[in-house]
Amino acid sequence: MTSYAAPLRDMRFALYELSHFAEVTALPGCGEVTPELVDPILDAGGTFCAEVLAPLNRSGDEAGCTFENGVVRTPDGFKQAYAAYCRDGWPALHADPAFGGQGLPKTVSLMFEEMICSANLSFGMYPGLSHGAYEALHAHGTPALRQTYLPKLVSGEWSGTMCLTEPHCGTDLGLLRTRAVPDADGSFRITGTKIFISAGEHDLTSNILHLVLARLPDAPAGSRGISLFLVPKFLPTPDGRPGVRNTVAAGAIEHKMGIKASSTCVMNFDAAQGWMVGKPNRGLAAMFTMMNAARLSVGIQGLGLAEVSYQNAVAYARERLQGRALNGPAQPDKPADPILVHPDVRRMLLTMRAGIEGCRALGVRVAMAQDTATHHADAARREEADDYVALMTPIIKAYFTDMGWDATVLGMQVLGGHGYIRDHGMEQFVRDARIAQIYEGTNGVQALDLVGRKMSAHAGRYLRRFFHPLAAYLETNQGKPELAEFIDPLAKAFARLQQATAALAARGLADPFEAGAAATDYLRLFALVALAQLWAETATVALGKSDEFYRAKLATARFFMAKILPQNYTLFSTIMAGGASLKQFEDAMF
């Protein structure tokens, strides 16, 4: 049996000590968002996740969702937990007050998202998808659609989905075939089959709102001919209740490796009535609002699972007695020492910890930028923040979920064979973590987004949003002897990142295969540099403080610089080695 306690101390560090939370409070409309307001919310969120969601994680995994005659049932306890989730107002946390939301900034709701992912990722999928649908509708829906549907999403009464994937079309959405035919009343009739639709059908809410990508009859081929439609499971009555059943239904659910309590559905649309969201043939752009929000959320899934795996691995490592410390017994009165004394176990735990705390800190930075991009009074500041979010989105999605996978595998390894068998619950974290590297655009595709779109966007403007402040940070801090052990390796890694960027830009222009071949390594190098800056900043906060929390921060910062950041040498080498070894291997030789 695993346990979970929200890492509130570290969350507060990331929010208030490492970042300038006062900048969030200073944003228009956020004046009341002070630590005094936020802390009780985080406390309550932690309690809810630990006491209501975490106890259902294992039973949900064992029971999974069931499918019978088009009806999907979630595992025992999920309905009650979802009702409690809505009753306590959690779906409204980061939603617009105009539609019943609480208007809290992303910086705050992100912390709660992480807690849900740690406690019960399967459960988190349902409100997660709803929030994505909320974002797309809020940004692109007509006033009438917004008025009808947003309050229901915000209260959690109705849920949302995101219907992109079709059997022949996953990454390449330009291939999609679902059709949308205009009706005389201004609505559309949607026909087609979508697969792998998370929360496509379930028993938690009285209605489900599908956001569906489809083609108009005269649409151009490819991704420029895709429009976005809202298709409710039940057509709402004038007084806002679920009315006539629409012609959309689940045909099956998938049996899968993890997140078994999250329903993954085949959805059949048979001339189902829908309404256009956004402009004709501009559906992919509208859907990107949802996908970008979702990509950040999926990154947080990796972080949340890494955290819960770490907590349980540490608890086990303190208790499990095997072997003796290499420098002499640590607990001579016992038959053996706790495995925590062994260097290799410490390596695994510290790798997890450095990944988790670094990613949490980076997540807060990106969420703060999202809030700035949404609320700041100055358009130039909004643009600057938006650029930073756009640049970091593929990095958060891919690096955090890779970290989540690596960390949950390490967490399992710390328990040895006891991690591999089901009893301790560690293998579920591994299984649940794996999908995050795949959906919302595979991690390989995120890396292509970074090198293909983000690097070159606005003649390198996104990159400059990261490079210039980092260069200024180094200039301010280089030469401070107490920081040298952090700043010097950061400066070297940054120099390699700049060199790799220049090389990639030049080679990619001549041959796009070169950019594709280096993309994954480049994304990792980029992430390491971003994390190294945060660890240097962490060390600055922690230096000279005697409290155990800060000593642990400093020690983790040292571990990161000594044992994780050096991966940048290898990444730099593989990027600079170019793509010839991938290109020259003939297809027939595979």
Ligand X SMILES: Cc1cc2nc3c(=O)[nH]c(=O)nc-3n(C[C@H](O)[C@H](O)[C@H](O)COP(=O)(O)OP(=O)(O)OC[C@H]3O[C@@H](n4cnc5c(N)ncnc54)[C@H](O)[C@@H]3O)c2cc1C
Report the residue from 198, 428, 538, 556 that binds ligand X according to the rule CB under 6 A. Answer: 198
- Name the minimum Å distance from CB 324 to ligand X: 45
Question: What is the rounded CA–CA span in Å between residue 261 and residue 59?
Answer: 9
**Could you say which of 440, 475, 537, 548 is catalytic?**
440
Q: How far apart are CA 352 and CA 470, in angstroms?
A: 25
Residues 149/395, Cβ–Cβ less than 8 Å: no
Pick the stretch among 156-164, 344-352, 470-478, 578-586 that binds ligand X (CB under 6 A). Answer: 156-164
114 phi and psi angles, rounded to 5 deg: -60, -40
* Site mask for ligand X (CB under 6 A), range 256-285, x = bound: x-------x---------------------
Fill in the per-residue mask, 157 to 176: x = in contact with ligand X (CB under 6 A), - = not in contact. -----xxxx----xx-----
* Count of CA atoms in the C-beta half-sphere (13 A) of 438: 10
Site stretch for ligand X (CB under 6 A), options 10-18, 144-152, 362-370, 439-447: 439-447
The residue nearest ligand X at its CB is: 170
Residue 67 lies near ligand X (rule: CB under 6 A): no
Shortest gap between Cβ of 58 and ligand X (angstroms)? 19
CB nearer ligand X, residue 105 or residue 170: 170
Give the residue among 144, 227, 149, 146 at the shortest CA–CA distance from 182.
227
Total Cβ atoms within 10 A of residue 507: 19
Span between the terminal Cα atoms of the chain, in Å: 44
Among 439, 462, 494, 560, binds ligand X (CB under 6 A): 439
Please tell me whether residue 442 binds ligand X under the rule CB under 6 A.
yes
Return the number of the residue (165 or 292) whose C-beta is nearest ligand X: 165
Taken in order 148, 153, 154, 156, the sign of the CA dihedral is positive
Q: Over the range 394-418, which residues count as b (16 or more CB within 10 Å of their CB) and which as e?
A: bbbbbbbbbbbbbbbbbbbbbbeee
Q: Least distance in Å: CB of 132 to ligand X?
A: 9
CA-closest candidate to residue 108, choices 37, 28, 7: 37
Give yes or no for a contact between 519 and 450, defined as CB atoms under 8 angstroms apart.
yes
What b/e sequence results for 346-360 when a residue is b if at least 16 CB atoms lie within 10 Å of its CB, and e otherwise?
A: eebbbbbbbbbbbbb
| Residue 248 sits in the site that holds ligand X (CB under 6 A) | no
Q: Which residues contact 523 (CB under 8 A, 6 or more apart)?
A: 394, 395, 398, 399, 446, 447, 450, 451
Nearer to ligand X, 110 or 298 (CB): 298
| 231 scored as a contact of ligand X (CB under 6 A) | no
**Closest approach of Cβ 210 to ligand X, in Å?**
10
Rounded to a whole number of angstroms, the minimum distance from the CB of residue 199 to ligand X is 7
Taking the complex as a whole, how short is the minimal distance between the CB of residue 181 and ligand X, in angstroms? 21
357 is annotated as an active-site residue: no
Identify the residue among 117, 445, 455, 463 touching ligand X (CB under 6 A). Answer: 445
Structure tokens at 366: 């990106």
Identify which of residues 104 and 435 has a Cβ nearer to ligand X in the complex. Answer: 435
User: Measured between alpha carbons, how far is 372 from 288 in angstroms, rounded to an integer?
Assistant: 19
Of 85, 196, 275, 405, which lies in the binding site for ligand X, with binding defined by CB under 6 A?
196
Site residues (vs ligand X, CB under 6 A): 162-165, 170-171, 196-198, 256, 264, 435, 438-442, 444-445, 448
| Active site amino acids | 440
